[in-house]
Amino acid sequence: MHALSRLAPEVRQYLLVTANYWAFTLTDGALRMLVVLHFHSLGYSPLQIAALFLGYELFGVVTNLLGGYLGARLGLNRTMHIGLALQVLALLMLTVPTAWLGIAWVMAAQALSGIAKDLNKMSAKSSIKLLVADGEQGRLYRWVALLTGSKNALKGVGFFLGGALLALLGFRGALLLMAGALALIWLGSVLSLERDLGKARAKPKFRELLSKSRAINSLSAARLFLFGARDVWFVVALPVYLATTFGWDFWQVGGFLALWIIGYGLIQSLAPAITGKRRGQVPDGRAACAWALALAGLPAAIALGLGADWPAQTVLIGGLLLFGALFAVNSSLHSYLIVSYAREDGVSLDVGFYYMSNALGRLLGTLLSGWVYQAHGLPACLWVSSAFVLLAALISLALPRHATDG
């Protein structure tokens, strides 16, 4: 604590925001794995288990939009703390007797967790804009990449944590432990985080939710298609394909996807070095377009490889690893650009609007993943993915050529 008190105020606040976000992310990943494993053991079908998470994804669209408005009016510290409190409540909702754990009840708890997650994410990403001076774009990029990458790596760790806690403590014991730990994090954050962080000087009007600059509108549209491109084959199609075609058991599928997410997060953290930060460069719209084009042909190439009767496991696993690396760089670039483009006064309005598009892309991708895979198989999902990334690249042509513009 003494060493923490000696740090510059903005660094100390950044570390507090990051620690808050890390703690939340661990419980978010662990909760997802707990629900999947527990309800699988209760005899729920894969479709029923998938339905439990529908509210989680759907409420992300609304929460990001309204969360940005609330952040500007109330302050980002308050929206972050509301998110933590809602997650504690969601965890406690699932500790009721097993007889109460019907689909509607669990969907409601997951919806609450989805609201909590997006309030916490929007608050954390927006806060960084206010902790870095306008002229320090390199530092801003580095801090955003570290926060984003570490979040995804820890979500993968959370998958393992959920399985381990379920084995050691059981479903109810694991939930109570996580709820207690997160409540302590919430208390420490309330006492330590700067008050009124991100609160707009002028109270934003509700109509300002959709009033954005061209740069933010373009980046948000590109983000929608970028994340739709990932989830159209990653969320439903890929796990089912691995289980049915390759004959992998649940632990092989879950373990591989967890490791993929961890690796994806680590590459996100390294994105500044990959994209030229060490040479004094920070990315702009040209970089976002170029990296999207580099990704666009990969899903189609995997689909062609599967159709050519090449070794399916080699083609799919190798392609998935390369996709994860390129996608991580694209995602990290976008996360930096939205924080850079956002207005300092009322930053959460812009960031919330952008992450609403992110959530909408995930929802679109999730729905298409199940429908396209069921109707036409995994190769069709991959072709849709390539088309979506190409759209993201074309939209990125409208982005400013320098990250400080817009």
**For position 105, which CATH number holds?**
1.20.1250.20
Domain that holds residue 383: 2-198+206-396
In a domain, 350, yes or no: yes
What are the pLDDT digits (tens) for 134-144? 656 667 777 67
The number of distinct structural domains making up the chain is 1
In a domain, 99, yes or no: yes
In a domain, 402, yes or no: no
pLDDT tier at 403, thresholds 50, 70, 90: very low
What residues contact 364, with CB distance under 8 A and at least 6 apart? 224, 228, 231, 232
* Nearest 10 degrees: Cα torsion 53, 158, 268, 289: -10
pLDDT tier at 228, thresholds 50, 70, 90: very high
Calculate ∠ Cα 287-341-137, nearest 5°. 70
In a domain, 261, yes or no: yes
For range 47-59, the mean pLDDT? 76
In a domain, 406, yes or no: no
pLDDT tier at 322, thresholds 50, 70, 90: very high
pLDDT of residue 210: 61
For range 195-210, the mean pLDDT? 57
What residues contact 163, with CB distance under 8 A and at least 6 apart? 33, 37, 254
pLDDT of residue 406: 37
Count how many residues are written for the chain. Answer: 406
Compute the half-sphere exposure of residue 387: CA atoms within 13 Å on the CB side of its CA: 9
In a domain, 404, yes or no: no
Reading the block at residue 92, the tokens are: 């406690």
pTM for this entry: 0.76
Q: Of 79 and 331, which is predicted with more confidence?
A: 331
For range 109-137, the mean pLDDT? 75
pLDDT tier at 250, thresholds 50, 70, 90: low
Alpha helices in 132-210 (DSSP H): 137-192
In a domain, 186, yes or no: yes
In whole angstroms, give the CA distance from residue 153 to residue 151: 6
Measuring CA to CA, which residue among 268, 239, 220 is closest to residue 61? 220
pLDDT of residue 273: 80
CA distances from 20 to 187, 194, 300 (A): 11, 13, 39
Average pLDDT over all residues of the chain: 81
What residues contact 54, with CB distance under 8 A and at least 6 apart? 107
For residue 252, pLDDT over 60 is answered with yes
- Long-range Cβ contacts of 38-45 (<8 Å, 24+ apart): 38/166, 38/171, 39/106, 40/250, 42/98
pLDDT tier at 7, thresholds 50, 70, 90: low
pLDDT tier at 68, thresholds 50, 70, 90: low
For range 115-139, the mean pLDDT? 72
What are the pLDDT digits (tens) for 290-318? 999 999 999 999 999 998 888 999 999 99
Span between the terminal Cα atoms of the chain, in Å:
40
Whole-number percent of the chain with pLDDT over 70: 81
Is 371 in contact with 198 (CB distance < 8 Å)?
no
Calculate ∠ Cα 219-57-122, nearest 5°. 50
In a domain, 403, yes or no: no
For range 173-197, the mean pLDDT? 85
User: Looking at residue 278, what DSSP letter applies?
Assistant: G
CA 263 to chain centroid: 14
